[in-house]
Chain A
Amino acid sequence: MNTGTEPIIWLTIFVLSIFIGVEVISKVSSTLHTPLMSGANAIHGVILIGAILVAGTAQSTPILVLGLVAVILGSINMVGGFVVTDRMLIMFSRPRRALEKPVRRELDQ
Chain B
Amino acid sequence: MTPAWAQLGYLVAAVCFIVALKGLSSPRTARRGNLIGAAGALLACVIVFLVSDLNHLLPILAAIAAGTAIGVLGAYRVQMTQMPQLVALFNGVGGGAAAIVAIIELTELGTGSAPVFDLIATAFTIVVGSVSFAGSVVTFLKLQELMTTRPVVFRGYPIVYGLGLLAAVGLSVGLVLAPSMLFALLLAAIGVALGVLLVLPVGGADVPIVISLLNAFTGLTVAASGYLLENILLLVAGTLVGSAGTLLTRLMASAMGRSLINILFGALKGGSTLGATTVSDRPVKSSGPADVAILLAYAQRVIIIPGYGLAVAQAQHTLRQLVDLLIERGVQVDYAIHPVAGRMPGHMNVLLAEAQVPYEQLKEMDEIDPEFKQADVALVVGANDVVNPAAETTPGAPIYGMPILHANQARQVVFMKRSMRPGFAGIENELLYEPTTTLLFGDAKDTMGKLLAELKALTV
A residues apposed to B, CB below 8 Å: 1-3, 7, 10, 13-14, 17-22, 24-58, 63-64, 66-94, 96-99, 102-103, 105, 108-109
Contacts and interface: CB of A to CB of B under 8 A. Distances in A.
B24 A21 contact: no
Interface in B224-245: 225-245
Overall SS of chain A's interface? helix
A83 B75 contact: yes
Contact of A102 (B20, B67, B247, B324): B324
Given A43-B37, A67-B100, A89-B30, A55 B56 contact: yes
B27 A92 contact: yes
B123 to A, nearest CB: 15
Contacts of A28: 24-26, 248, 251
Contacts of B339: 30, 33
A51 B60 CA distance: 9
A33 B72 CA distance: 22
Overall SS of chain B's interface? helix
Given A48-B97, A84-B83, A35 B24 contact: yes
Interface string B422-436: 000000000000000
Interface stretch (B153-161, B194-202, B279-287, B342-350): B342-350
B68 A13 contact: no
A39 B33 contact: yes
Given A24-B18, A50-B225, A82 B38 contact: yes
A54 B101 contact: yes
B328 interface: yes
B215 A74 contact: no
Given A10-B235, A81-B90, A44 B219 contact: yes
Contacts of B347: 34
A13 B235 contact: yes
A103 B325 CA distance: 8
Given A47-B94, A53-B231, A76 B237 contact: no
A50 B238 CA distance: 12
Contact of B356 (A25, A29, A30, A94): A94
A56 B234 contact: no
Interface in B38-72: 38, 41, 44-45, 48-49, 52-57, 59-60, 63-64, 66-68, 70-72
A63 B59 CA distance: 13
- Chain B interface residue number, banded: 35 or more
Given A37-B87, A37-B215, A22 B244 contact: yes
B359 interface: yes
Contacts of A33: 248, 251-252, 255, 339, 344-346
Interface stretch (B109-117, B162-170, B372-380, B393-401): B109-117
B67 A66 contact: no
Nearest to A80: B71
B35 interface: yes
The 8 A-B pairs of least Cβ separation, nearest first, read A80-B71, A75-B67, A56-B54, A21-B243, A33-B346, A17-B239, A84-B75, A77-B94
A44 B237 CA distance: 6
Given A2-B115, A68-B60, A83-B75, A51 B356 contact: no
B294 interface: no
B21 interface: yes
B67 A39 contact: no
B74 to A, nearest CB: 5
19 contacts: A10-B227, A21-B247, A25-B24, A34-B345, A41-B215, A42-B41, A44-B219, A46-B44, A51-B101, A55-B56, A63-B107, A66-B103, A68-B63, A73-B67, A73-B93, A79-B71, A83-B76, A85-B24, A88-B83
Contacts of A45: 41, 90, 94
A1, A14, A80 interface centre (most CB from chain B within 10 Å): A80
A10 B64 CA distance: 29
A32 B27 contact: yes
A93 B67 contact: no
A64 B63 CA distance: 11
Given A21-B243, A25-B24, A37 B212 contact: yes
